[in-house]
Amino acid sequence: MHVTEKIKVISGKSVKPITDKHKQVIDKLELMLEKGIPDLTMSELAAKLKVSLRTLYEIAPSKDHLIRMTVNRILMKLGKEALDKIAEINSPLEKLKKYLQHVNQAVGPRFKVYLQNLGNNIQSKEMIDYHEDYIISYTKELLDDAIAQKEIKTIDVQAFALLLGGIGRDFAKDVNVEKLSDSPEKSANSITEIILNGIRLEK
């Protein structure tokens, strides 16, 4: 996908391929999102990005959709980085540990700013749910592999996958953040390591 790239829309609705020019605009928007986007209209956003309003509407029909699509792209890149990072690891248990450490960045300070740009709407929740569901599914797959290779005890794989795949998001909730002595990311990694060490089989 060099000339054009299809952006996945979590709602399942198809969108036309975007051009390299559009990708450059989205790259700029990613940088803006790192600092948080104030309450700008689409035309004000276009001015900040130094592109025409028409170009923005070619990419997305609304500001909410544009930001949601950009954050989705950021999260997908994080997931790909995690998979690339563990590609050469043979042990399913070590793969899982490294994978979860990487994707837990999604509840770290950098990604907190990205996610704060999302509106509190059903589409944004569906997008975040989609990424969490993928993490849970992949976690289950690696736990199954770890049992098959006798790296861990026989466990309720689905229950552990739900716990490990969703713990970071739970810690990142406002009601929980203030109760933690560390960041949601560090706390999630710490608990994950304790859980994985607890189910590891001694050799």
- Write out pLDDT tens, residues 20-33: 889 899 999 988 88
| CA angle, 30 then 126 then 108, to 5° | 50
Task: Give residue-wise pLDDT tens across range 111-152.
Answer: 777 777 776 778 888 988 999 999 999 999 999 999 999 999
Same domain, 29 and 79: no
136: CATH: 1.10.357.10
Range of the domain at 33: 4-65
The CA radius of gyration of the chain, in Å to the nearest whole number, is 19
Q: How many domains does the chain have?
A: 2
Return the number of other C-beta atoms located less than 10 Å from residue 159's C-beta. 10
As beta bridge partners, residue 108 has none
Tell me: do 21 and 44 sit in the same domain: yes
Is residue 45 domain-shared with residue 110, that is, in the same domain?
A: no
On whether both 91 and 20 belong to a single domain, the answer is no
Q: How remote is the C-alpha of 127 from its chain's centroid?
A: 9
SS3 at position 4: strand
Residues 131 and 194 in one domain: yes
Residues 79 and 38 in one domain: no
> Is the pTM of the predicted complex or chain greater than 0.85?
no
